[in-house]
Structure 1
């Protein structure tokens, strides 16, 4: 039974109890000859109690559903013969896994399960104002000694152990939970969060993630999911249905790793892709080409504006590139020129005050 069915049955049972109890009390009051004012007082008191009970019941039901989904998202795999369980990851003995590999994976799993996943943010600024409007989220793991575990330190070992997907999934959930905490301090914070191909193609996890987001649709104004174009291009129809379900809850999407300006932007916008990221080098190369290249770039910008997709020029590193980028009429920019990825409190401050300009709606951002 899913969360909607549970809630529906609970609501039906509650309404039935309200009606039956009200009829019994009023009938008893009439038989006893109570004055009308007492009957009205009893009815009002009963109504208040039932409203409070309903609110508490629905809140507890929602919490229970969320806990059930979180257990499914983070549950540990049961050990089977010939396998060693390291945290939430199963490591099958293999000649390709050295002792160093095992140690690295152990540090990763222990960091995730101990909650040592730090939220890092990089600003995405409006142009030409250079005011932070959004942030892209990154996760950084810390070991027991406080040292940062860089992805380069464990990615090869995780690939050899076939655990990239498990690690990505665990980090994603920690990232979303960290965003929930930040939202309490910075209600207008809007963050781009990457969904890796490994997460997208983990059907069971992605189905449960969809359920989790359904229960947390209040995050829709704060969370923009980012996908690579190759992942979207090769996505199975069933996963497309999941994306549609997430979009129906109000979540917007962004696409990066754009390698060409000639994509089906109308189709992408119809699937709730509201942002597109293109490397500054791709845009600058087009603007410096022959007249045909410049014309294609202008047509590209016009087409995006017509379908309602905002363009983000990413990987902007040098100030001397800005005059050309601004001349292209780009909506937003991202890169080390505007700020490197740093711990969230660097940009938001201890009290979240630094996010005053972030997360404003797109109309205000324009």
Structure 2
């Protein structure tokens, strides 16, 4: 009797694991969808096959393999999971910035994440985001890329800095933008001379070699041009964040071949947002794109409320093409974040992060029907 009970208990314990292994090893085919690959290609009435969390095949002439689980998707669109290229998901207010020093380059945001998963954004079709420190520090630390199921894609993805008034107002000194930039230049020079010790020294060394991108939150045209000059002087792998006034200096940004993470589009002036965003226009993304700047979109959000899907819809409504808007939350966003080898495109070998939509995803009537992350359905309507 005891042996029978033990066998029953073991069976009950092991069945879920056997089923999980079975489902991961079983091919899944999405059949009949209009596939928007994220790289500009459109496959009508296509089939996409994934196994074990990776895409293995897609095309109009692909058939579901024998034994595959088939998801019928006729009349639906299939896209890569959307990417919000700048957010604060999983961070509490007390974790946003380092209050003891203006410079906190080696502060790892991954160490402060509190449940980076977000079901609201997942339901909207967003599966991945770059989580940045706040803008209160001149150099705020190392941002992290996470999937919104909670897994970490890259724990040290970039060094995030801020040239705006938020950083100026957070500390007693410096009191001017010139003073702030002088401190940063001196730090970079010391790092060049191997005179900067400790973790910050090692972090800045990676910035100077280009191994770590240097992301600068800059909104006024003057701050943007300052970031471009520093990038040229020190050969930095620069990414501009927000860039509300980017449309006014778009040609300079394009000439420097620097990508921009645009957004959020809707920011209140005065008590609702920084005055330095006065140049913000909803056509900013379109203006930058027309000038030849590679762009991604973001919300700078904490997870609740508007997702980056709405940023793409707004950008399209104000002049950005449908294809460019889709790229700004898929393939271009992934390329800017340095994860284009895994995410942002539907292609063989890529992560099976897939969203099925009723209605075009870059439209006010687009609605998610199923969201898949790493080959597992995490939301179904």
Fold in common (TM above 0.5): no
TM-score for both structures, normalised by structure 2: 0.33
Q: Which has the larger radius of gyration?
A: 1
Larger helix proportion, structure 1 or 2?
1
TM-score for both structures, normalised by structure 1: 0.34
Larger strand proportion, structure 1 or 2?
2
